[in-house]
Structure 1
Amino acid sequence: MNLVSAFASLILFIHQTHSNTYRAALLAFKNKVFEDIQGNMSSWNESVSHCNWLGVSCSHRHVGRVTALDLPNQKLIGTIPPDMGNLTFLRRHIPEEFGRLFRLNTLILHRNELGGEIPQNLSSCVGMRYLCLHYNRLSGRIPDKLRYLVERGLIAFMVIMNDLTGGIPIWFGNGSSLIELWLGDNHLRGRIPAELGSISKLEHLQLGPNNLIGRIPSSIHNLTTLVDLDLNGNNLHGEIPPEIANYFPHLQGLYLSNNRFSGQVPHSLPNATGLEDLTLGFNSFTGNVPVNLGNLRNLKRISFGENQLQAGPDGLSFLTAFTNCTKLKALDFGHNKFTGEIPASIANLTDTFQRFYLGSNQITGNIPPEIEKLNGLQALFLYNNSISGEIPHGIGKLKNLTVLYLWGNKISGTIPSSLGNITHLLELRLESNQLEGDIPPSLGWCRQLLLLILSDNNLNGTIPKEVVGLSSLSIDFGVARNFLTGPLPFEVGNMSQIVVVDLSDNTLTGEIPSTLSQCIMLQNLDMSGNIFEGSILPSLRTLIGLQYVDLSRNRLSGQIPIYFENFTVLEWLNLSFNSLEGEVPREGLFRDTKCISITGNKDLCGGIKEFGLPACKVRNTKKRRKLPKLKASIAVTVSFFIVLACLIVVVYWRRKSTTRPSIALPIEERFPKVSYAKLRQATDEFSPSHLIGQGSHGSVYRGMLDGNQPVAVKVLNLRQKGAFKSFLAECEALRNIRHRNLVNIITVCSSIDFTGAEFKALVYDLMQNGSLEQWLHPSENQLDMPKLSLKQRLGIAIDAASAIEYLHHHCHTNIVHGDLKPSNVLLDHDMVARVGDFGLARFLHGSTNLDASQCQASSSGLKGTIGYVAPEYGLGGTSSLQGDVYSFGILLLEMFTGIKPTDVMFEDEWNLHEFVKIAQSKSLLKILDPSLLFVEYPAGIDRGQINDANTVRFEENVAEIMRIGVLCSMKLPNERLDMTNALSNLVAVKEKFLKHGM
């Protein structure tokens, strides 16, 4: 018995020793994790068995033996220690997302922020079958010692989206058990090893993009089990073997784009009947397209764009064959040398067909009227060809169309009014054709239109106010070089987000409308070559983001506005050939003659000597001496009567009112009065079913005023301290301001209810899409709400920034909003954001030229919402513009992380600002709102779903947005951006975003 007992003790000791080894290895890993943002490794402590730690699985037969470590997408920042090699029995666990291939023996650490090199000691994990390290920041070379894992049965090796360098090790060729080899999105260089051709069971080979050179080794043809071959984005060259499809009978995806391949498109491709994705774009292929590609019945996407392909004797008839592909979604044959006419048979393409690219070829003939049958078509690119005839009227039946590019052709006739029926249209480019007639007002029905370019045609008539007034237009509005007449409609101010406006070389008349000043995102403005007259308005001083301005060849008069000196980003100003007069400014842009043209204005004088203008004449000195005396006398007299009138008013109101002051009269005069009874009827007696919001000072109800006007009624709770003061503040603010991105007040009610109690309410336009709070943090009964995309969030952020920037810098008196947060950012039916709730608004007294931090508010005290209130407010600081900037910064970070600033994870000095600031140096994708990533990339940011360039641009845009949020929410007020800079930076991100079509 003693021997048995001793043996049992020895076994127990051995198990305990091994258990301690595993525990030590895991703790070593934890110590190398510098940051656990989600706190998921908090369970890894001494008081709990390591088999109960998050992500750790142990054997049921062997006490303490670790069989799996599964920590994907945990936002871990750190390195992988060599001690991980001690986990020699890693086994099991398969995430559902990886399907049937990932059954056993796995190490899953993907989608974290793990850096450093891949530990060579991982080769000790002799039981490993699946090694998943993709989407980290691993660097260095692929360790040679890992060949032991390959030789011992590793099934899949995935390290895409890291920073690995060096060449592809030839020992992968020893891995006869490998099924998946994913090495793309790194910096690997050299040639593709011929040894890879000996991996007899390989199904997925992904080597792009990298920096690989040379030809595809012929040994790859031995991989007869291949399902996907992805070599995109390298520097490979040579011809593709004509029999390539015969080598891979199971092929579903062939990705060879963005290389230097040449020769003809392999004519064996139709034999790969299982092929779904075929991308050969951005190479130097020549010759014809195989005519029998229609045999690929499973084909979904085909991309042959950016090559040197030509049409055969039958022209574009090869397109007819694709009508057999019942799953087809996209055809790309753009930027080649195709000739001939588009066959009418394309109308027989499947209803799933969405994107058709034929731009930049040599196509002739008409657009076939049968195109109206492509019900599922979303994008049509026929630009830069020689297409003639008219635009088919039936094109208006393509209700799903979002992009239509027909520019650079010989299309004649009129613009069909039926285009207005395509209500989802985002971009319309018809420039450089021979179109004539009017611009159809029906284009104003396309309320999501972002870009409209009709330049270089023969259009006449006036610019319809319905079109120029589209608030959605935010990229480019161009009608240059036509024969348009009449004035520029005042509705141009509705395009407050527009970046480029080109009206040049028409016959437009009248004055420059003052509403143009509302286009505060404008960067390029060209109104040259028209008959505009009058002066350059003072109101245009709001367009501080202008980079290019051309007002030449008009009949403008008056002086050159001195505010142009303060346009710091303005690069070119052309005011030549007008009737301008007076002194030319000397500062800013006017110090460099290369940046400005003022020739052809004979009455200008002064300016720097390089302009060569005569000196300005000195006015009569006698008159100048008399004028100040006269002005002084008038000023004294007027001041006396003003003071006297004020004294009379003060005495009168002191005697008349011993209770609360009444609401400021100007707002009652401006808006129609509404009774308590009417508001009660509009809200169904203030029914709880109509309640849409509740705050500290009152409740908001949905209602229908006069039976047809949807409204939001904010009823003040006058028993709540500060409610009446809030009511007056909001009335005062709203009667002084007007902006597209501020809530629109309809009227107010100051009365008594049916019980005789005092009643006060504000009535606004109803915002159909509720508040930003509901979209970012939906309640349980709102979980089916669609998620906001990056584009939508960026647009909302710019809208909110525009509103606050207007309050800070473009009102008669600077206004502090005081309570900026998601629940106070409302969204209308077009998802345009409007800032509301001015109950804590403050008017700043002092010069508008003072630094915001120097301005004192009219009322002090810590007010606002916890998490959004600037730190200095808690130390007794008064309301300031920089306090609003802080709130905006936190709002911006919350919009893109999906994390509230009051989340339980934030304690002491740890807050949302610090959380994002630390993550800035890492991959910000890890802290993004998961719903945002899902909207942008439903299948995950994986190779095969999107290309590397889009991923990089997406990360760059996110990084810039987060940078703006961090700079706005700095702890010290003088370190924060002002709202003008914050707004211009966000607009720059949007412009970059739209430029790349993301």
Structure 2
Amino acid sequence: MGFLKCFIGFKIRRRSNRVEIYNQDHDENRNQSTSNGTATNTATDDSSKTNNRLEPIDGQKRNIDGVGVIRKFSWDEVERLTKNFSKVIGSGGFSTVYLAHFQGFEIELGAIKVHIGSERLNQLFKQERDILLRLRHQHIVKLLGYCDDGEQGAMVFEYVPNGSLQEKLHGGGCGGMAEEDAKSKRKSLPVLSWRGRMTIAFQLAQAIEYLHEKCSPQIVHGDIKASNILLDHHLNCKLCDFGFSKMGFSSTILPPSSSSPAYSSRRKQVMMGSPGYTDPHYLRTGLASKKNDIYSYGVVVLELVTGMEAFCSERGQFLTSIVGPTLLTRDVADMVDPRLGGDYDMEEARVMLSISALCLGHSPTLRPSATHILQTIKDKISSTSFLFSPSPDKDKFGQLMIRDS
């Protein structure tokens, strides 16, 4: 599924702005899956472009997210779509996300991520763009297009309307709030049901398995956390933010110590991960691998089960430090989110805590793969069984995921 297919481009003119359209599905034979499920990625150069006209059809809306189509936008288009960057819907250390309006298209809303224009961040933009061009999975946020005019960089994504898992579980976090105020805020939130939590855990594992096992080269996400897990209309999981991602089984991002000039230049690179989610082994060695993502997944599972944050700046504590030492010995009922009011399956909670413990293990080689995690959930978490068979709930399970508090 995930791929950088053979691109063929054609130009269109819309008013005075130029938009290039690249078709990823030009040659299906270039991206056939191998017997082990790994996709072969191939790209062509600009010589494959052909000129064509795409005119509006009266009374019909145009499709901005046709299968396999990635559009290249001009900066004027980005300004118009965001209404001159009028509404911020997200922000990070290196970018800001704006709401986009696609007038005359089947999709009305999108999200445009604009990168800050320094040389280093421009490289991060290109790296993230190149990785996203390879990906197509139902539980990874969809790239619709991008702009790389001059020093400015922007990526256009599908709009995911239900915010992030961070917001659903924690109400945006406790930063800047007194602990009691943060607790009060969380209690006032609609409660994400046990079934919904287990479904998100399964879908996130599917996205990770896709990156680790079904992309070629394999991809390490590098920053799996609750705020990078978006939820759609039905609260399906959509993994986003590939700014820290790396291609290949493993690579040294920042060695622990060295006096070489190469190390000095490497120190300028951005460290992967976020507080509370980052693999301690990576922090010690600088070796980025798939097992870093598995560690982060274990933290997310712990959040889903306990309802606690991975890291709260006001308390200055990691969830793994609070819960980790007693993860397998403490009574399960004492660890499950009390907001569920007992509306959960005790054995499933025990299984998920065991999965989390394995993911958080000190030795990366002993951590399970995403494939093994998926199989365990399939075998032992009956709350997700509706995902594997035709069911009227399957397409609208979001309606069942929020319970009355």
TM-score by length of 2: 0.67
* SS of aligned partner of 2:381: helix
The question of 1:759 aligning with 2:152 is answered yes
> Aligned residue for 1:694?
91
Q: 2:305 aligns with which of 883, 889, 896?
A: 896
The 1-side partners of 2:89 and 2:201 are apart by 23
TM-superposed CA distance for 1:541, in Å, is 4.1
* SS of aligned partner of 2:197: helix
The 2-side partners of 1:964 and 1:817 are apart by 20
* SS of aligned partner of 1:838: coil
Q: 2:132 aligns with which of 734, 747, 760?
A: 734
The 2-side partners of 1:927 and 1:787 are apart by 16
* SS of aligned partner of 1:837: coil
> Aligned residue for 2:348?
957
Q: Tell me, which stretches of 5 or more residues in structure 1 are unaligned?
A: 1-536, 544-645, 647-668, 753-757, 845-854, 938-950
> Aligned residue for 1:912?
320
The 1-side partners of 2:294 and 2:203 are apart by 14
> Aligned residue for 2:73?
674
| Alignment of structure 1 residues 313-462 onto 2, 5 Å | none
**Counterparts in 2 of 1:540 and 1:930: CA distance versus 1, 3 Å:** farther
* SS of aligned partner of 1:900: coil
> Aligned residue for 2:230?
826
**Counterparts in 2 of 1:967 and 1:735: CA distance versus 1, 3 Å:** same
* SS of aligned partner of 2:110: strand
TM-superposed CA distance for 1:916, in Å, is 4.2
* 8 Å contact kept, 1:771–1:824: yes
| Alignment of structure 1 residues 579-728 onto 2, 5 Å | 671-687=70-86, 690-708=87-105, 709-719=108-118, 722-728=120-126
* SS of aligned partner of 2:230: strand
TM-superposed CA distance for 1:880, in Å, is 0.4
TM-superposed CA distance for 1:905, in Å, is 5.8
- Structure 1, residues 607-647: CA drift from partner, whole Å, max 9, x if none? xxxxxxxxxxxxxxxxxxxxxxxxxxxxxxxxxxxxxxx9x
- Structure 1, residues 249-296: CA drift from partner, whole Å, max 9, x if none? xxxxxxxxxxxxxxxxxxxxxxxxxxxxxxxxxxxxxxxxxxxxxxxx
TM-superposed CA distance for 1:810, in Å, is 0.8
> Aligned residue for 2:277?
868
Q: Tell me, which stretches of 5 or more residues in structure 2 are unaligned?
A: 1-31, 39-44, 46-67, 173-181, 255-268, 387-392, 394-399, 401-405
How many positions carry a matched residue from both structures? Answer: 300
TM-superposed CA distance for 1:826, in Å, is 0.8
TM-superposed CA distance for 1:899, in Å, is 1.7
* 8 Å contact kept, 2:308–2:319: no
Amino acid across the alignment from 1:723: L
* 8 Å contact kept, 2:112–2:156: yes
> Aligned residue for 1:985?
376
- Structure 1, residues 755-812: CA drift from partner, whole Å, max 9, x if none? xxx3210000000111111101114889754221011011111111111111101111
**Counterparts in 2 of 1:977 and 1:917: CA distance versus 1, 3 Å:** farther
The question of 1:921 aligning with 2:325 is answered no
Q: 2:168 aligns with which of 775, 778, 786?
A: 775
* 8 Å contact kept, 1:682–1:707: no
* 8 Å contact kept, 1:828–1:834: yes
**Counterparts in 2 of 1:745 and 1:986: CA distance versus 1, 3 Å:** same
**Counterparts in 2 of 1:992 and 1:707: CA distance versus 1, 3 Å:** closer
* 8 Å contact kept, 1:890–1:913: no
Considering only aligned residues, what root-mean-square deviation do their CA atoms show, in Å?
A: 3.0
TM-superposed CA distance for 1:673, in Å, is 2.2
Amino acid across the alignment from 1:737: L
* 8 Å contact kept, 1:702–1:713: yes
The question of 1:814 aligning with 2:218 is answered yes
TM-superposed CA distance for 1:822, in Å, is 0.7
- Structure 1, residues 345-378: CA drift from partner, whole Å, max 9, x if none? xxxxxxxxxxxxxxxxxxxxxxxxxxxxxxxxxx
The 2-side partners of 1:670 and 1:808 are apart by 24
TM-superposed CA distance for 1:975, in Å, is 2.1
The 1-side partners of 2:252 and 2:134 are apart by 16
The 1-side partners of 2:217 and 2:321 are apart by 30
The 1-side partners of 2:385 and 2:282 are apart by 38
Q: 2:245 aligns with which of 837, 841, 847?
A: 841
* 8 Å contact kept, 1:896–1:928: yes
The question of 1:856 aligning with 2:265 is answered no
* 8 Å contact kept, 1:679–1:705: no
| Alignment of structure 1 residues 34-53 onto 2, 5 Å | none
**Counterparts in 2 of 1:978 and 1:994: CA distance versus 1, 3 Å:** closer
Percent pairwise identity: 28
* 8 Å contact kept, 2:71–2:145: yes
- Structure 1, residues 940-971: CA drift from partner, whole Å, max 9, x if none? xxxxxxxxxxx7xx111101011101101112
Amino acid across the alignment from 1:929: D
Amino acid across the alignment from 2:251: A
TM-superposed CA distance for 1:747, in Å, is 0.2
The 2-side partners of 1:896 and 1:702 are apart by 32
Amino acid across the alignment from 1:734: L
The 1-side partners of 2:319 and 2:363 are apart by 15
- Structure 1, residues 876-911: CA drift from partner, whole Å, max 9, x if none? 33210111111111111112212223246676xx85
Greater relative contact order (Cα < 8 A, sep 6+): 2
The 2-side partners of 1:827 and 1:871 are apart by 28
TM-superposed CA distance for 1:994, in Å, is 4.7
TM-superposed CA distance for 1:859, in Å, is 4.6
**Counterparts in 2 of 1:920 and 1:670: CA distance versus 1, 3 Å:** same
**Counterparts in 2 of 1:906 and 1:925: CA distance versus 1, 3 Å:** farther
* 8 Å contact kept, 2:231–2:237: yes
The 2-side partners of 1:542 and 1:751 are apart by 36
Which range moved further: 702-711 or 812-821?
Answer: 702-711
